[in-house]
Amino acid sequence: MNAHLQPTGSAYFIAKETELAETHTLSVLVDNEPGVLARVIGLFSGRGYNIESLTVSETEHEAHLSRITIVTRGTPHVLDQIKNQLERLVPVHRVVDLTVRAGSLGHDRPIERELALVKVHGSGDHRVEALRLADAFRASVIDANIDHFVFEITGKPSKIEQFIAIMKPLGLIEVCRTGIAAMNRGPQGM
Amino acid sequence: MSGTENQMTGAEIVLQALRDNGVEHIFGYPGGAVLPIYDEIHQQDDIQHILVRHEQGAGHMAEGYARSTGKVGVMLVTSGPGATNAVTPLQDALMDSIPLVCISGQVPTSLIGSDAFQECDTVGITRPCTKHNWLVKDVNDLARIIHEAFRVAQSGRPGPVVVDIPKDVQFATGTYTPPSAVPTQKSYQPKKQGDLKKIEEAVELMRNARQPIIYSGGGVINSGPEASHLLRELVELTGFPITSTLMGLGAYPASGKAWLGMLGMHGTYEANMAMHDCDVMVCIGARFDDRITGRLNAFSPNSKKIHIDIDPSSINKNVRVDVPILGDVGTVLEDMVRLWRAASKSADKARLSDWWETITKWRARNSLAYAPNDDVIMPQYAIQRLYELSKDRDTYITTEVGQHQMWAAQFFGFEQPNRWMTSGGLGTMGYGFPAAIGVQVAHPNSLVVDIAGDASIQMCIQEMSCAVQYGLPVKIFILNNQYMGMVRQWQQLLHGNRLSHSYTEAMPDFVKLAEAYGGVGIRCEKPSELDAAIRKMIDTPAPVIFDCRVANLANCFPMIPSGKAHNEMLLPDEATDEAVANAIDAKGRQLV
């Protein structure tokens, strides 16, 4: 669309996108049946869409419903396609673009939170510094011995990024992140 | 579990479920992992099994069967290679929206994942080429899943589905649930009704149009005969000109006075010019495919676009539309016709007279013209003669893929829907012949002709053996030019006439080949003998291979070269060797 096209020596038309890419967070409600995650992921890879973060878990046990939260990046046109393509999958109940919904509710963006486990080598001065910073970030210590800590930290992805960056010079060993869980503010559900 | 009356083995459940879904024919090939099902097939008479020679053939037969009847086509294959051979027809059916149920055998559940003999991850492999698929791990789920498979295949935008059944599930005993007792999956409930407000908006646009066009597609045919009927009514009421995609031919009759011919890359001048210059475009069950639009940023620049489609992902995918209407074509057309009648009792058709005048001028350009020849058969002439000699019969046409396919679309006049089976989206060489067999199974007394090319026909030629076995008098009408004509045409256009591997040096003797299979072979090399030879083919009550030797170097025009707009067509009388060579500039050629 509105694409700038070049003459090609191909059977196809090669278009250049001129729209700017945006990052959006999608909530996808699906039947928790075998293969459903593969269907969703396969759709992204098969059609050349990006996945920046993916979180999935059964949220309604009796109804066997899972909620998949996907952070993706694309032009508004591509984001629209992603939503429509996801809705076409048989086990998909609903797809909500939380970023668009947040905008229509008058918010900057949806609530997005992530949990990370951060293992840090801690001895000497670094040990004290790591503990002090963890406290400032409201990260809690969930495992420790005399030369390491495992911190649990929850927050916006940017906060977690920052915490990990700070821990790096203090002896960061490994990080595990859940990916983003998200919903919109206000009393309405998805 | 209550009582034993509904207790059956998995294999019995498969047959019962097929019966309960109205299946009369299945196309398949046996193998280790489906033997219990084949054992059941052997012990019943309700469902006829057609034994194919390659699983790809089974899939295309089921597609031809489905497209010519409007019913679901059913194929049955074994695990491993059986399932992988089914992939091509599955993707073909996905792209052309053909309802297809593929039942595949799988190794026993205890062996899944162990790299067992003839094991493959069928649901994994077929996930992207089906609308949905299932691996059945419990015999008590089997009936429900098969019923649901039929529902998914034929509702909404139709498509192929796969039900993968491990061998131990086929042997196990479980409860059979009839279709009426099965709850449907809540997440999949396609809507048929269109938004009335949007339809009103569309009718309003159409009433004020001065240069309108209707652009219809395969969705009209998929929606059923009533949709084609309504389309004709709409054209009659509005007085709009109509063009159609390759997939939509026959929904509006080729003899209709509003008919502009097919549009797109090899469409007529009048259809493409009208698409380019229109002020209101009504797209009905088509999807703005790249073969249709030409260069996107030059596609119908000044029109308001109305798009009726049952698949939300088709709307605004390639072309931004002004009035999207989500719903079944037939249901929406019903509303549209009703609203049009109510809104414009005295339709002012005079406002379209300038538009029709322009169209008449475009028509006079005679874009399908070709130079007749008394010595060699021109391929276009062959199609015209085939049409003239078969039009008064109950005729179904299938095609392979390439130049012959485009000539068939251009020169064979389709008056009814469901009479034209071709691989549009995927462009599968080898589709036409097995599809014709599928059509013949559904319509044993009709004339079924596969218009083929000499290259395409060799991709599924083994099904001659199937046609002969079941006495299916399918006609294969080969436009034999010894080239992969369309490949050669592109090489002439884009690659400096370097004909890399597009010439078939060792062509079989098609007459002898037909005879070897137990069919009848006919060869024709002269225009003067063509009519008699075609009559002989039509009158032969057996499978026929007709080797029609045509002008070797004829090319398919008109043509919109890639990267060009609808109003930049290459017309046959302008397509000199030089024009063909320069149609795409040097800079363009370097790009790919």
d(CA B378, CA B372): 7
At residue B577, the pLDDT reads 67
Do domains B7-181 and B196-364 share one topology? The answer is yes
- The residues on B that touch A, with CB distances below 8 Å, are 123-124, 127-128, 131-133, 135, 152, 185-188, 290, 294-297, 311-313, 315-320, 490, 494-495, 562-563, 584-585, 587-592
Q: Which amino acid makes up residue A87?
A: E
CA distances from B397 to B69, B386, B432 (A): 13, 11, 9
Distance from CA of B157 to the nearest CA of A (A): 10
At residue A4, the pLDDT reads 43
Burial of A33 (0-12, 13-18, 19+ CB in 10 A): middle
Q: Among B123, B294, B562, whose Cβ lies nearest the Cβ of A10?
A: B562
At residue B115, the pLDDT reads 96
- Phi first, then psi: what are they for B106, rounded to 5°? -135, 160
Q: What is the mean pLDDT of residues A99-111?
A: 96
Q: What is the pTM of this model?
A: 0.94
Which residue positions in chain B have pLDDT lower than 70? 1-4, 344-347, 577-578, 580-592
Asked whether the beta carbons of A113 and A155 are under 8 A apart, the reply is: yes
d(CA B422, CA B428): 9
Q: What tokens were used for B488?
A: 């050669």
Sequence ranges of chain A with CATH classification 3.30.70.1150:
111-183
Do the chains contact at A93 and B186, CB–CB below 8 Å?
Answer: yes
d(CA B53, CA B48): 16
If we measure between CA atoms, which residue out of B349, B359, B384, B388 comes closest to residue B370? B384
Q: What tokens were used for B14?
A: 């498969």
Residues of A in contact with B590 (CB under 8 A): 9
Residues 6+ apart with CB under 8 A from B497: B491, B581
d(CA B495, CA B554): 18
Distance from CA of B588 to the nearest CA of A (A): 4
Q: How confident is the model at residue A1 (pLDDT cuts 50, 70, 90)?
A: very low
Q: Which residues pair with B475 in a beta bridge?
A: B449, B544
**Regarding the domain delimited by B7-181, which CATH topology (the fold level of the hierarchy) does it fall under?**
Rossmann fold (3.40.50)
Do the chains contact at B316 and A80, CB–CB below 8 Å?
Answer: yes
- Phi first, then psi: what are they for B252, rounded to 5°? -110, 135
At residue B39, the pLDDT reads 98
d(CA A158, CA A173): 20
Q: Which residues pair with B478 in a beta bridge?
A: B452, B547
d(CA A133, CA B67): 68
At residue B495, the pLDDT reads 87
B419 SS3 class: coil
d(CA A41, CA B542): 50
Q: What tokens were used for B220?
A: 């009209």
Do the chains contact at B290 and A91, CB–CB below 8 Å?
Answer: no
d(CA B34, CA B77): 7
Torsion of CA A168, A172, A175, A180, to 10 degrees: -30
- The catalytic site residues of B sit at 55, 117-118, 167, 486
- Residues B248-269 have pLDDT tens digits of 999 999 999 999 999 999 999 9
Mutual angle of helices B403-411 and B379-390, in 10-degree steps: 50
At residue A14, the pLDDT reads 66
d(CA B521, CA B502): 25
Asked whether the beta carbons of A35 and B127 are under 8 A apart, the reply is: yes
Q: Is the ipTM of this complex over 0.85?
A: yes
Q: What tokens were used for B222?
A: 């998929």
Q: Among A35, A80, A81, whose Cβ lies nearest the Cβ of B127?
A: A35
Q: Which residue of B has its CA nearest to A13?
A: B563
* Residue in the structure block whose two tokens are 């002989």: B536
What count of residues does chain B have?
592
Do the chains contact at A90 and B186, CB–CB below 8 Å?
Answer: no
Do the chains contact at B316 and A88, CB–CB below 8 Å?
Answer: no
If we measure between CA atoms, which residue out of B386, B408, B396, B412 comes closest to residue B446? B396
> Left, alpha or beta for B393 (phi > 0: left; psi -120 to 50: alpha)?
beta
* B255 DSSP assignment: T
Q: Return the CATH class of domain A111-183.
A: alpha beta
Sheet bearing A65-74, strands edge to edge: A53-60, A65-74, A22-31, A92-97
Do the chains contact at B297 and A3, CB–CB below 8 Å?
Answer: yes
Q: Among A5, A43, A81, whose Cβ lies nearest the Cβ of B297?
A: A5
B226 SS3 class: helix
User: A60 and chain B: CB distance < 8 Å anywhere?
Assistant: no
Distance from CA of A188 to the nearest CA of B (A): 21
Q: Which amino acid makes up residue B440?
A: Q
Do the chains contact at A13 and B494, CB–CB below 8 Å?
Answer: no
Mean pLDDT of chain A: 92
Sequence ranges of chain A with CATH classification 3.30.70.260:
22-104
Asked whether the beta carbons of B240 and B282 are under 8 A apart, the reply is: yes
* Residue in the structure block whose two tokens are 């276009």: B380
Q: What tokens were used for A29?
A: 């409600």
Q: Which amino acid makes up residue B457?
A: I
Q: Which amino acid makes up residue B253?
A: P
**Regarding the domain delimited by A22-104, which CATH topology (the fold level of the hierarchy) does it fall under?**
Alpha-Beta Plaits (3.30.70)
Distance from CA of A159 to the nearest CA of B (A): 36
* B183 DSSP assignment: P
CB half-sphere exposure, A177, CA atoms < 13 A: 18
Q: Which residues pair with A151 in a beta bridge?
A: A118, A141
CATH number of B196-364: 3.40.50.1220
> Left, alpha or beta for B188 (phi > 0: left; psi -120 to 50: alpha)?
beta
Enumerate the domain spans of chain B: 7-181, 196-364, 379-549
d(CA B543, CA B556): 28
Mutual angle of helices B10-20 and B139-154, in 10-degree steps: 30
Asked whether the beta carbons of B108 and B168 are under 8 A apart, the reply is: yes
d(CA B201, CA B287): 21
Residues of A in contact with B320 (CB under 8 A): 1
CATH of B379-549, one of 1.10.287.3510, 3.90.850.10, 3.40.50.970, 3.40.50.170: 3.40.50.970
Asked whether the beta carbons of B443 and B421 are under 8 A apart, the reply is: no
CA distances from A28 to A55, A102, B117, B541 (A): 10, 16, 38, 57
If we measure between CA atoms, which residue out of B132, B512, B296 comes closest to residue A15? B296
Do the chains contact at B563 and A7, CB–CB below 8 Å?
Answer: yes
- Residues A64-88 have pLDDT tens digits of 999 999 999 999 999 999 999 999 9
Q: What tokens were used for B18?
A: 């097929």
User: A84 and chain B: CB distance < 8 Å anywhere?
Assistant: yes
Element (H, E) at B452: strand B447-453
